[in-house]
Amino acid sequence: MEMGCVRSDDFFNNGVWFGFFVENKGVTTEQIHPKKAYGWAARDSSGVLSPFNFSRRETGEKDVTFKVMYCGICHSDLHMLKTNGEIQLILLFPGFRKCRHEIAGVVTEVGSKVEKFKVGDKVGVGCIVGSCHSCDNCSKNLENYCPKMLLTYGVKYYDGTITYGGYSDTMVADEHFVVSIPDNLPLDASAPLLCAGITVYSPMKYYGLDKPGLHVGVVGLGGLGHVAVKFAKAMGVKVTVISTSPNKKKEAIEHLGADSFLVSRNQDEMLPAMGTFDGIIDTVSASHPVLPLLGLLKTNGKLVLVGAPEKPLELPVFPLLFGSAIGGMKETQEMINFAAKHNITADIEVIPVDYVNTALERLMKADVKYRFVIDIANTLKPTSSI
């Protein structure tokens, strides 16, 4: 085995060495991944994305290859791009931080043992591209809890190369981790469901907050929150949006269909609502007090934290977040089918790929309603950049 190393100060100027393994001595990444591809990636600690060329693997016997048409921009992309290495997953991919994981497109090739897909199918890939298939969690369709789970971006794949994510023209994944997208769902507005959608759908189902007549609160009205409102209403529950901004009341009730709205900073509104919620889905990615939300719950009510604040909350979030962040593959397909049945999609702003850095800056300011989606098919062009 040979380790190929890249001097990280070429990228980060911090004098640390990173490396990646190539399983057979003298075998290059291009030999393992012979299919040329192109996309956008961050090459240094600024987090600014730019065009680059790379390669994908050949379609294996259980693989699905598809042309990427759209890829959503998730708030967690900011964490991966802007942390200067604070998130260790970044360090597994020397010099590049490529996103991401709300990938939707059309099948162009399938392996000889693929059973669920054919050329021309509409498909998507979310946060996961690998798991052990043998542990207790995998046997229960909880691949997202598998200790050997492989993310769609920035981790070492089975062949020793790094997973690249979806800001690219093409994608290859094992069919087990590919989701079928029903024909009545548009690809662009379905892409965010592969992360934002399953992130809120899964805890609603797991904690029994999908029963008609229950009262569920949704904290925050962004990329996660607006989809949570749509799913909750389709499940038949009473939905109250909780926000610091009274300006979002009209949007929440008239556009998204919420039943009521609370301004969390207004005690005259919060006090009468104490003890009236069966569950609350907190989607906020900014630091905020959690204690007032606990007071809104009935006895045995559930508070589920699915946002990812950069600074610690009054309660530790990250130990809780990774269990509720997404869902297993069976449940992800179930979520997509439920969305198709009830015509649920994300509210999106479709952007060209060369607008991605501006979009990320806007996302930091919460200046999007409610999810950016990159038009990969029409705006990503081959480049001579490396």
| Higher local confidence (pLDDT), 194 or 314 | 194
Answer yes or no: are the C-beta atoms of 306 and 224 closer than 8 Å.
yes
How much of the chain is helix, strand and coil, in % rounded to 5? 30, 30, 40
* Residue 167 pLDDT > 50: yes
Q: What percent of the chain has pLDDT over 90?
A: 58
**Angle of the 329-341 helix axis to the 196-206 helix axis, nearest 10:** 100
Q: Which CATH class is domain 35-192?
A: alpha beta
Q: Which CATH class is domain 196-323?
A: alpha beta
| Higher local confidence (pLDDT), 24 or 9 | 24
The secondary element (H helix, E strand) that includes residue 273 is helix 267-273
* Mean local confidence (pLDDT), 168-184: 96
DSSP string, 96-134: -B---S-EEEEEEEE-TT--S--TT-EEEE-SEEE--S-
Write out pLDDT tens, residues 336-377. Answer: 999 999 999 999 999 999 999 999 889 888 888 889 999 999
Q: So where are the chain's domains?
A: 35-192, 196-323, 329-374
Look-up of token digits 């020793």: 160
**Which residues, at least 6 apart from 173, have a Cβ–Cβ distance to it below 8 Å?**
63, 64, 125, 129, 152
Write out pLDDT tens, residues 309-333. Answer: 777 776 655 544 554 557 889 999 9
The pair of structure tokens assigned to 159 is: 């062949």
